Amino acid sequence: EKDPANQRNGPLLADPRYTNAPIPYDGRSGAPPGPTPGYGGGPGPNQGYPPAGAPSGGYGGGGYGPSYGSGYEGGDGYGSPMSPRQQGYSNRGDRFSGNQGPPVQDRGGYGHPNMPAQGYQEQGPPPPGAMFQGSVIMVYGLNLDKISCDKLFNLFCLYGNVVRVKFLKSKEGSAMVQMGDAMAVDRCMQNLNYMTLFDNKITLGHSKQAFLQDVPNPYELPDGTPSFKDYMGSRNNRYANPEAASKNHILPPSKVLHFFNTPPNISEEQLGEVLENVGAAKPFKVKLFASKSDRSSSGLMQFESKSEALEALVLANHASIPNPAGKSPYVMKLCFSGGPIKE
């Protein structure tokens, strides 16, 4: 047995070196003390993002909460096989979530990695040294005579959930678009930057703002519509849940538009009238797909140029078409298609 006297004479702390500073939490339960390289501010090529294999739930994971069984190729945090960047901190001010489950207490962005994100939450600032990228895009070079919040929504909703749109009175031709997560921002930047829209070349950039605040009394745009609009509850957002997101094909603007959710047996002339009514050019070639049901129709429209197709999508996406067999009109939906129409 040990001598009690020796125990009493021993130091109170076996090794006082570890009491000089608090042990930082690096996001992994049971991890050794100290910052992990490339995660939470430590040095490394992936600074600010967790290592591969880190849990995807709770830290954003694209803003949709816990990971799901099968990965979504667009990288919205729906699946488990994701890159470190997709798994980690999104560090944005707001989160737009489609996951279900009980509410989780807001921990200012530092929640337990295994806790799912719930709803649309305002996060606190990122930890010191962490890489910051919010979910707000700056859009420059807009033609104010032909653009509005809804028209920007019609375009940006192809690449992620649109939360809010705000035009800047102090900087003419500029707007801010808040997306549902940082990965949606990346897709918009990759596919829409430097595109020509209504004879203007638009440029996109990352905003320093983490989120857009509500504007109680927005000023009017030239077309009479408000300069600020909230789309959080819009049924036209296409990434509301994993199943809806998996149906989206991420493509850059092209000459061909895919249309769907139109009345059954719609004709080429009727499609042309819908486009004319909103001020868009008529396509020079239309192909109707064989209908799988009598509830709706779909097909392709090909335009003379990429700019014509882009403007047609901005103007006619979510256009209402009368329903001959019911009270509620059809809401036509458009997206870009890969190749030209084949005979």
pLDDT in tens, 187-227: 999 999 999 999 999 999 999 999 999 999 999 999 999 99
pLDDT in tens, 63-72: 333 333 333 3
- Top pLDDT among 17 and 3 is at 3
Element (H, E) at 306: helix 306-316
| Secondary structure (3-state) at 176 | strand
pLDDT the model gives residue 326: 82
| Secondary structure (3-state) at 133 | coil
| Secondary structure (3-state) at 136 | strand
Q: Show the tokens assigned to 75.
A: 């990288």
pLDDT in tens, 84-138: 333 333 333 343 434 444 443 433 333 333 333 333 344 444 455 444 468 999 9
Residue appearing with tokens 């090909």:
302
Region 253-265 average pLDDT:
95
- Alpha-carbon gap, residue 185 to 200, rounded angstroms: 21
Residue appearing with tokens 């996060």:
123
Dihedral sign (CA 84, 88, 93, 98)? positive
- Alpha-carbon gap, residue 230 to 165, rounded angstroms: 7
To 10 degrees, what angle do helices 149-156 and 306-316 make?
120
Q: What is the model's pTM?
A: 0.64
Residue appearing with tokens 């020509």:
196
* β-bridge pairing 136-140 and 175-179: antiparallel
141 in Cβ contact with 186 (< 8 Å): no
